[in-house]
Amino acid sequence: MEQRMRRATRGRVAALATVGLMLATGFVAPASPVQAADTNLVVNGGFEDGLASWFVNNGNATDGAQLSATSDAYAGANAALVTSRTTTGSGPMQDLSGKVQAGQAYTLTARIKYENESGPATKQFFATMHYGGGTYTNLVSVTATKGQWTQFNGTFTIPTTQSVSTARLFFETPWTSTPSTDPALHLMDFKLDDVSVVGAAPPAPASKTIEVVGKLPGEHNPLIGHKFGADGFGLVHDGRVYMYMTNDTQGYAPNPTTGVSPGINYGDINQITVISSEDLVNWTDHGEIQVAGPNGVAPFTANSWAPGITKKVVNGVEKFFLYYANGGGSSNVITGASPLGPWTSERTSTLIDGRTPGAEAVAWKFDPAPFVDDGQPYLYFGGGPASTSMPPAERFNNPKNIRSIELGDDMVSTEGTAAVVDAPVAFEAGHVFKRQGKYYFSYSSHFGGNDFGGSQQPLPGYPGGGQIGYMISDGPMSWPKETYAGVLFPNQSQFFGAGTGGNNHQSVFEFGGKYYFTYHAPTLNKRINGNTTQGYRSPHIQELTFNPDGTIQQVVGTYAGVDQVRDFDPYRVFEAETFGWSKGVATTKVDGSSAQFGAAAPNLVVRDIDNGDWTALSSVNFGDNGAQSLTARVRALAAGGQIQVRLDDVNGPVVGTATVDSAVGQWAEVTAELDGVSGVHDVYFTYTGPTGVDLFEIDNWAFAAASLDLPVTLTASARCVGGNAYVAVQARNDHDAPVGITLETPYGERSFTAVAPGANAYQSFNTRAVSVSAGSATVRVTGAIGGHDVTTVRTVQHPAGTCGG
In order of 158, 353, 503, 513, 761, the CA distances from 484 in angstroms are 54, 27, 19, 26, 74
Q: Is 92 helix (H, G, I), strand (E, B) or coil?
A: strand
Q: In sequence order, what are the residues at sequence separation of 6 or more whose Cβ sits closer than 8 angstroms to the Cβ of residue 18?
A: none
Q: Distance between CA atoms of 739 and 634, rounded to whole angstroms?
A: 42
Q: Is the sign of the CA dihedral 491, 495, 498, 499 positive or negative?
A: negative
Pairing between strand 438-445 and 426-435? antiparallel
Question: Does 428 participate in catalysis according to the annotation?
Answer: yes
Q: Distance between CA atoms of 729 and 720, rounded to whole angstroms?
A: 14
Structural contact between residues 755 and 761, judged by C-beta atoms closer than 8 angstroms: yes
Q: Distance between CA atoms of 661 and 640, rounded to whole angstroms?
A: 7
165 CA to centre of own chain: 22
Give 751's strand partners. 742
Q: Is 2 helix (H, G, I), strand (E, B) or coil?
A: helix
Q: Is the sign of the CA dihedral 727, 728, 733, 738 positive or negative?
A: positive
Q: Distance between CA atoms of 329 and 754, rounded to whole angstroms?
A: 72
In order of 110, 115, 158, 325, the CA distances from 126 in angstroms are 11, 17, 16, 35
> Over the Cα atoms of the chain, what is R_g?
34
State the catalytic residue, choosing from 231, 575, 613, 744: 231
Q: Distance between CA atoms of 781 and 330, rounded to whole angstroms?
A: 66
| Range list of β-strands (E), 369-511 | 369-373, 376-382, 402-407, 414-421, 426-435, 438-445, 468-473, 484-489, 507-511
CA 36-166-27 angle, 5° bins: 50
State the catalytic residue, choosing from 194, 211, 288, 428: 428
Ramachandran class of 500: left when φ > 0, alpha when ψ lies in -120 to 50, beta otherwise: alpha
SS3 of 299-341: the string is CCCCCCEEEEEEEEEECCEEEEEEEEEECCCEEEEEEECCCCC
CA 539-511-324 angle, 5° bins: 45
Give 510's strand partners. 515
Q: In sequence order, what are the residues at sequence separation of 6 or more whose Cβ sits closer than 8 angstroms to the Cβ of residue 685?
A: 614, 615, 616, 643, 644, 645, 646, 701
Structural contact between residues 126 and 193, judged by C-beta atoms closer than 8 angstroms: no
In order of 47, 586, 624, the CA distances from 697 in angstroms are 34, 10, 32
Structural contact between residues 712 and 778, judged by C-beta atoms closer than 8 angstroms: no
Give the burial class of 574: count Cβ atoms within 10 A of its Cβ; 0-12 exposed, 13-18 middle, 19 or more buried: buried
DSSP letter string, 691-734: TTS--EEEEEEEEEEPP----EEEEEEEEEETTEEEEEEEEEE-
Q: Distance between CA atoms of 144 and 122, rounded to whole angstroms?
A: 5
Q: In sequence order, what are the residues at sequence separation of 6 or more whose Cβ sits closer than 8 angstroms to the Cβ of residue 325?
A: 303, 304, 305, 306, 331, 366, 367, 368
Look up residue 50 and give its amino acid: G
CA 752-757-761 angle, 5° bins: 30
Catalytic residues: 231, 428
